[in-house]
Structure 1
Amino acid sequence: MLSIISWIALSIGAISSIIIIVDVFRHPQHMTIMNIVWPINGWFFGPIALWTYFRWGRINAKNLELEDKRGNGAKVFVSTSHCSAGCTLGDALGVPIVALGALTIAGSTLYAHFTAQFILAYIFGILFQFYAIYPMNKKAGVKNAFVSAIKADTLSLIAFEVGMFGWMVLVNLVIFSTPPAPNEGTYWFMMQIAMILGFLTSYPVNWWLVKRGIKEAM
């Protein structure tokens, strides 16, 4: 039953991503990186991503003249989505690297996943943040944009990984006697849940970063 539920959830996520991809091709975002962010969010947030994209994301389409009536909560939601997408991409890419390489740390595959996924999530998180900051102020230079990206994304990324890794610990040590493997749908369904929890733990940190002026609401 759990396997069936997993494949249903994964299919809903994939369909949500495809719908968003089709729409951003028709209505590309002003900020190019968001054309990647929204489909990634569709994978783990499913219908919620669709609702938020059409309600809060499409406002920023280049070829549409839509009035921006979003409140601060919605803008911080989009900022958190941007951070979460970079983390999600890095985390997802880390899984096959660890699995195919049969990597372990201190004899633990879980520790290897945590290490590989954090490193890749940090790299992609900073890159996603860089491509949000640099196009808006190219005169400041690449170096300053990277420094600003690190300041804006580091705490947010750590908060995301706390939620995600916390769930992975429960999955591997509490919920399952034999945890699902990366070649099973259940594994990726657990990852979807991990991404949602990561988003939830990252949201208040993004709100604080925006309030302190360290990060801009998107």
Structure 2
Amino acid sequence: MLATISWIALGIGLLSSLIIIVDVIRHPQMMAIMNVVWPINGWFLGPFAVWSYYKWGRLKAKDVDREDNRGMGAQVFMSTSHCSSGCTLGDAVGVPIVFFTSLTVAGSTLLAHYTVEFIAAYLFGILFQLFAIYPMNQEAGILGNLKDAIKADTLSLIAFEIGMFGWMAIVHFVLFQTPPKPDQATYWFMMQIAMILGFLTSYPANWWLVKKGIKEAM
């Protein structure tokens, strides 16, 4: 039953991503990196990502001339989506690295996942942030914008990983006698849940960063 639910959830996520991909091809975002961010959100947020894209994301399409009436909550949602998508991509890249190399840290596969996925998520998160801010501040150069990207994304990324890693620990030690592996649909369904929880733990951090002016509201 769980395997069936997992396949359904993964199918809904992939369909949601596909719907968004089709639309961003037709209506590209003003900020190019958001053309990547929204489909990634579709994978783990599913129909909610599709709804939020059409409600808020479409306002930022190049060919849409509508008043941007998004409130603070929606702007922070966009900033969190941006951060979460970079983390998600990094985590998705890190999983097969650990799986195919049979890597362990201190004899633990879970710690290996934590280590590799945190590093990959951090790199992709900073890269996504750099792609967002560099076009708006090119005179600062790559190094200056890289410093700003690190300041803007580090706290929100750590907050995301706290939610994600916490769920991974529950899956590993509580929910299963034998945890699912990356070649099983159940593993990726658990990862979808982990990404949602990471999004939720990252949202307050992004709110604080935006409120303090450390991070731009998107």
Whether TM exceeds 0.5 here: the answer is: yes
Q: Give the match's secondary structure for 1:141.
A: helix
Aligned-residue Cα RMSD (Å) equals 0.4
CA apart distance, 1:140: 1.3
2:18 is the counterpart of 1:18: yes
What's the offset of the Cα at 1:84? 0.1
In the superposition, the TM-score normalised over structure 2's length comes to: 0.99
**Residue by residue, what CA displacement relative to the aligned partner does 1:46-105 show, whole Å, maximum 9, x if unpaired?**
000000000000100001112211100000000000000000000011000000001001
- The 5 Å alignment of 1:126-141 reads 126-141=126-141
**Within-5 A mapping of 1:112-123:** 112-123=112-123
Residue matched to 1:149: 149
1:67 maps to 2:67: yes
What letter matches 1:122 in structure 2? Y
Determine the C-alpha separation between the residues in 2 that align with 1:65 and 1:184.
44
Partner of 1:168: 168
Residue 202 of structure 1 is matched in structure 2 by 202
2:8 aligned residue: 8
C-alpha separation in 2, matches of 1:100 and 1:143: 35
Q: Which amino acid is 2:182 matched to?
A: P
Residue 96 of structure 2 corresponds to which residue in structure 1?
Answer: 96
User: 2:58 matched to which residue of 1?
Assistant: 58
The one-letter code of the counterpart of 1:58 is R
Question: AA paired with 2:42?
Answer: G
- Size of the aligned set, in residue pairs, is 218
Structure 1 residue 137 displacement after superposition: 1.0
Query: Deviations 1:124-143 (Å, cap 9, x if unpaired)?
Result: 00000000000111011111
Q: Distance in 1 between matches of 2:112 and 2:142?
A: 32
Instruction: Name the residue aligned to 1:214.
Output: 214
Q: Which residue is 1:87 aligned to?
A: 87
Partner of 2:10: helix, strand, or coil?
helix
**CA distance in 2 between partners of 1:64 and 1:77 (Å):** 20
Structure 1's unaligned 5+ residue stretches are none
Other-structure match for 1:108: 108
> TM-score under structure 1 normalisation?
0.99
Give the stretch that moved more between structures: 36-45 or 66-75: 66-75
Look up the equivalent residue of 2:117 and give its one-letter code: Q
1:186 aligned onto 2:186: yes
Q: Aligned-pair distance for 1:18?
A: 0.4
Identity %: 71
Match of 1:77 in 2: 77
